[in-house]
Amino acid sequence: MGSQGVSACVWLLCAVLVADGKNVLLIIGDDAGFESDVYNNTAIQTPHLRELAKRSLIFKNAFTSVSSCSPSRGAILTGLPQHQNGIYGLHQDVHHFNSFDDVRSLPLLLSQAGIRTGIIGKKHVGPETVYPFDFAYTEENSSVLQVGRNITRIKLLVRKFLQSKDQRPFFLYVAFHDPHRCGHSQPQYGPFCEKFGNGEPGMGRIPDWTPQYYTPEQVQVPYFIPDTPSARADLAAQYTTIGRMDQGIGLVLDELRSAGHDNDTLVIFSSDNGIPFPNGRTNLYWSGRAEPLLISSPGQPRCRGEVSQSFASLLDITPTILDWFSIPYPDYKVFGKSVTLTGKSLLPALEAEQPWTTVYGSQSHHEITMYYPMRSVQHMQYLLIHNLNFKMPFPIDQDFYVSPTFQDLLNRTISGRPTNWFKTLHSYYLRDRWELYDRSKDPSEVKNIAGDPGYHDLFLTMQEMLRKWQWETSDPWICAPDGVLEEKLDPPCRPLHNEL
């Protein structure tokens, strides 16, 4: 595995055969984090991710732009933040969020350029006209358990796609549903569906899966999760489904190799958002935004398994894939406003370390009832979060609420027992309008320095960076919460005099 320091090899010697590549395989986990030995978690076995990492560039500073499932998948497949593409929250059922009809998504642009597109697993975005795929096996036409967790079924669908007589270059998106929780909807399978397909009575069997089980004592508890028996048992169940995803990744890569595409396909692995634990998913703290990111280029590059410190955003995936296929981003408008990508191609990082030190975040909803708009910018070690709805308590999503970890945290708080957590529920629910953290001194992000006179100039600079990005991405929330946007007036942000 690559060193944790960044070797000069990766940016001075690493030859990437971009010209010879013509296909892309994008693999996305569902609520997966750093539960992998690739990212120094020695408690869990992920041999297939480790093998992929040996021929990949390993990004140490990769972040989602939004910590929620549908909005993140929309951002990945459009290169546009949630407030710009229209998927403000979850897509399914009563939530009903969709991208704007005129958005040009990655699969749409690739299809128009003659690239064959396929998706296997969790789609969770719409409408179909914005996200068309030539080959699709998703929750829209199949059981998501079968196309997202049954790794044997996934393997066979990948084989079917790759054995097509259509010889056009391809983009294949494999979206695992693991390790997403399922205890709220299908409790018989366990909190993380860790029993699904394991061969126990009533669970069915996934032929290609060899379940790996962990004890609560074996897991590594991240700083942002309470160190309690309930949370440890929850993490142990999560590890089992991470293992299923890892074995599935191995099967997918074996199919790619068997089909003769091992040396002409760019492979990207990441996840959509933070893990479903306290301070994780639905938050714009590091624990809600930070993602694994591996990019493997085809051919025989001279450097493998190296670690990059360059900042990357999941908003960069669309421009990276368009760059790979040499497809320009079109000139078009949505609601009369020109649309441009604020992300960048990550391909230059495969040749040389890049001076990228800034990423942006934007969140508005998760479930329809979870209105808590936030915007963020991380520049180097500094993280600024703007909580627009800061006078309301931070909301809790349904599947996390019934989880063993949160119920234990809730019960301990109510009864006055120690929570073994780095925050209190009170401080978690009720947040300041502006949060500024120096992660070099405060990696857990507990000391808000937004009001510290010593950081005043930095605070103002980062506020301006965030506002500039919001204007560039046509953020409807640009004037909130103490102003209203009136674009035909000057200045366009008109004061509300609402005592904020």
139-197 per-position pLDDT tens digit: 999 999 999 999 999 999 999 999 999 999 999 999 999 999 999 999 999 999 999 99
Q: How far is CA 376 from the centre of its chain?
A: 15
CA-CA distance, 273 to 65, in Å (whole number)? 9
User: What percent of the chain lies above the pLDDT cut of 70?
Assistant: 95
Residues 6+ apart with CB under 8 A from 396: 406
Q: Per-residue confidence at 299, pLDDT binned at 50, 70, 90?
A: low
Is 69 designated active site? yes
- Which tokens is 22 given? 């013509």
Residue-wise pLDDT for 377-401, tens only, equals: 999 999 999 999 999 999 999 999 9
Does the pLDDT of residue 3 top 60, yes or no?
no
Instruction: Select which of 9, 14, 69, 303 is catalytic.
Output: 69
Beta strands in 317-454 (DSSP E): 333-334, 337-338, 358-363, 374-379, 382-387, 434-438
Of the candidates 356, 370, 382, the one whose C-alpha atom is nearest the C-alpha of residue 443 is 382
Q: Is the dihedral of CA 416, 420, 425, 426 positive or negative?
A: positive
Give the residues across from 321 on adjacent strands.
none
Residues 288 and 314: their CA atoms lie apart, in Å, by 13
pLDDT reported for residue 301: 60
CA–CA gap between residue 272 and residue 27 (Å, rounded): 10
List of residues 6+ apart from 227 with CB closer than 8 A: 221, 420
| DSSP reduced 3-state for 234 | helix
Closest CA to 246 of 73, 58, 60, 45: 45
Q: By three-state DSSP, how is residue 464 classified? A: helix
Q: DSSP letters of 279-328?
A: TSTT--SHHHHEE-EEEE-SS--S--S-EEEEEEEGGGHHHHHHHHTT-P
Which among 435, 408, 433 has a CA at the least distance from the CA of 419? 408
On whether the CB atoms of residues 81 and 315 are closer than 8 A, the answer is yes
Q: Are 391 and 384 in contact (CB under 8 A)?
A: no
Average pLDDT, the chain: 94
pLDDT cut 90: percent of the chain above it: 94
Beta pairing class for 493-495 and 374-379 = unpaired
List the one residue out of 31, 64, 96 whose CA is nearest residue 362: 64
Per-residue pLDDT at 279 exceeds 90:
yes
Q: Residue 7's pLDDT is what?
A: 40
Distance separating alpha carbons of residues 64 and 313, to the nearest angstrom: 6
Whole-prediction pTM value?
0.95
Whether pLDDT at 11 is above 70: no
